[in-house]
Structure 1
């Protein structure tokens, strides 16, 4: 059980409990990083939390028909993205007006353009909305490569991944504008490939030591942390390498604790709804709760929303 990577990282397809556990751990890290907005705890979460989700998606990636995959991605991801965005825009109009404040989007119809552009144009309760369209675009590009080179360890992948890596570190130097999170797509592609390639690597016990050292360097703040939305990846290769190391170790842990971590799996299954809603909960409730209570609300309210949405067929078709 110790010498094969695929046993710790099962192939994609179906409902894999360890994947849900890893998603659950990842989304808790995301929420913690948004509740504690400065300090060591925030930096530790930012050192790995978003790369973890891209790596997981890469692990689950399999070559698919390009003609079918892209339309299916657009249909399945844009609908809930738009639905949650509209929901929060309407909620912000109501909540801020009731508080006697001014909604974030208040200059109509001019505000329609930044809403449609998304990414770096969205802030406050909408700040996380860069992630899903970025992941969607990266997955579509990555599938084009997989359809051509199904083995991620094929040496020809270097011709695609090395330019992506160079572009990932370059684009953030020239612009901060990121329509629909496109600024992070080059690094997202690198992470998708890394996750897919990791599936083909046999696990060895000696890997724990170098991965743990690299992980701790990021978690302890010994190197600059990450801000994927702004294409800020800290020290070239090292900061992202630390994120990958932490994520891979968490995947090993998730595979081991999956039978006993039903709560984490439940949170993982609701991770997309939590991703969309938790920043809004933090944004509106932060004046009224201490940080530990705010963390609990930012997890429990979206989790309750997920189960409510899942129980109503019409809402499930729109939001999930």
Structure 2
């Protein structure tokens, strides 16, 4: 069978995780946290263009063709849906307790969080990303049955809508209406997988340099996908893809330079990722971090969730809070990240 989005010849027998790509995931999550600590122009320019798009590109890059739609739904529910629901309930309980004690929780906070997507604010700041990634993966699996042109058409139409009516694409529950536009990055990841056998490591460096160059020259407006802002028309998405592609290829090149022990630590830290994404804004809420941010706030929002998740993923609570458990079959939110050339089970 040769479906339009089938695997390329680069997918072979299963191999080990790519420590380099796992490290990239860790850096990306840290950037997401930093983006919730600071909102100044320098932070936005340096990380907003790539810190969320890279995870959608990775979804496409490590996509496993042919999985049944029901299997995809079950997998995403296990790795994304369950932690989403559990952390939502934990944070709602914290809000209710705080409101009972102080009465200072803003009216509508819990209702907005339940609606999700753009409406959800601190301590639910990053929940939109998890729900959109979940829906995008399931949608992409459904679109897999059609020629690739259909998926590209859906993505391009969604992107045009985001440029023309950002208020509309951000109005959907759980960020639903953002999904078509975000599929552009997933498709870019699939394209990268097909082109990879012909791309030397220098192509990754060139891609990253061009993307960063666009940012430094001010040719691209910063992206903010949660707000439905995909940057400057065409150039915004192109810049995000170029930087993401460059980071992925360079990350893969790190594999042979990372030792076995370091790889294990990196893999475990990456496995904590979904718990950190969903819980870090709770730390910022407790600290009442201002928009101007603070180094202490950043350190706390990184160290506390990661340390907690590091312990949890070795316990029966791992699948509930992190979507994975060390030694189990479940994986972190973005799935297994194999070494270059190996098959994967995203």
TM-score tier by shorter-chain length is 0.7 to 0.9
Which of 255, 268, 271 is matched with 2:270 structurally?
Answer: 268
CA apart distance, 1:243: 1.3
Equivalences, count: 305
Relative to structure 1, is the Cα distance of residues 13 and 311 closer, same or farther in structure 2, using a 3 angstrom cutoff?
same
Q: Which moved more, 1:140-149 or 1:272-281?
A: 140-149
Counterpart of 1:311? 314
- Which residue is equivalent to 2:249? 252
Q: Would the aligned equivalents of 1:48 and 1:246 in 2 still touch at CA under 8 Å?
A: yes
Task: State the match for 2:91 in structure 1.
Answer: 88
How far apart are residue 171 of structure 1 and its match?
4.1
Equivalent of 1:189 in 183, 206, 209: 183
Structure 1 stretch displaced more, 65-74 or 22-31: 65-74
Question: Judging changes above 3 Å, is the alpha-carbon distance between structure 1 residues 209 and 312 closer, same or farther for their aligned structure 2 residues?
Answer: closer
- State whether residues 169 and 178 of structure 2, in contact with CA within 8 Å, keep that contact through their aligned partners in structure 1: no
Deviation of 1:142 after TM superposition, in Å, equals 0.7
Distance in 2 between the 1:300 and 1:15 partners?
24
Q: CA RMSD in A?
A: 3.1
Contact 1:33 1:43 in 2 (8 A): no
Query: Is the aligned partner of 1:68 residue 2:62?
Result: no
Range with bigger deviation, 298-307 or 204-213? 204-213
Partner Cα separation in structure 2 for residue 17 and residue 157 of structure 1: 31
Q: Contact 1:211–1:245 (CA<8 Å) still a contact in 2?
A: yes
Structure-2 separation of matches of 1:310 and 1:132: 19
Assess if the C-alpha contact under 8 Å between 2:37 and 2:294 holds in 1: yes
Structure with greater proportional helix content: 1
CA distance in 1, matches of 2:62, 2:227: 26
> TM-score, with normalisation over the residues of structure 2?
0.77
Q: TM-score scaled by structure 1?
A: 0.83
* Shift in alpha-carbon separation, 1:292–1:114, aligned structure 2, 3 A: closer
Distance in 2 of aligned mates of 1:180 and 1:10: 36
Aligned residue for 2:199? 203
Counterpart residue number, 2:212 = 215
Q: Distance in 2 between matches of 1:49 and 1:66?
A: 28
Q: Secondary structure at the match of 2:254?
A: helix
CA distance in 2, matches of 1:49, 1:273: 17
In 1, Cα distance between equivalents of 2:138 and 2:251: 27
Q: Distance in 2 between matches of 1:160 and 1:18?
A: 32
Gaps of 5+ in 1: none
**Structure 1 residues 39 and 67, CA gap change in structure 2 (3 angstroms):** closer
The correspondence for 1:279, drawn from 278, 281, 284, is: 281
Distance 1:251 1:25 in 2: 12
- Judged with a 3 Å threshold, the aligned counterparts in structure 2 of structure 1 residues 210 and 197 are, in CA distance, closer, same or farther, namely closer
Q: CA deviation at 1:60?
A: 1.3
Matched residue, 2:123: 125
2:32 to 30, 33, 52: 30
Question: Which SS does the other structure have where 2:144 is aligned?
Answer: helix
Superimposed CA distance per residue, residues 93-152 of structure 1 (whole angstroms, 9 cap, x where no aligned partner):
334555x35124x56xxx765343211221121121111111111111111222444xxx
Q: Any idea what SS the aligned residue of 1:311 has?
A: coil
Structure 1 match to 2:297: 294
- List per-residue Cα deviations over 1:140-175 (Å, max 9, x = no partner): 1111222444xxxx5565444433433343441546
Please list the CA deviations of residues 183-203 of structure 1 after superposition, one character each: whole Å capped at 9, or x if unmatched. 320122111111111101121
Q: Please, which runs of 5 or more residues in structure 2 have no aligned partner?
A: 1-7, 324-346
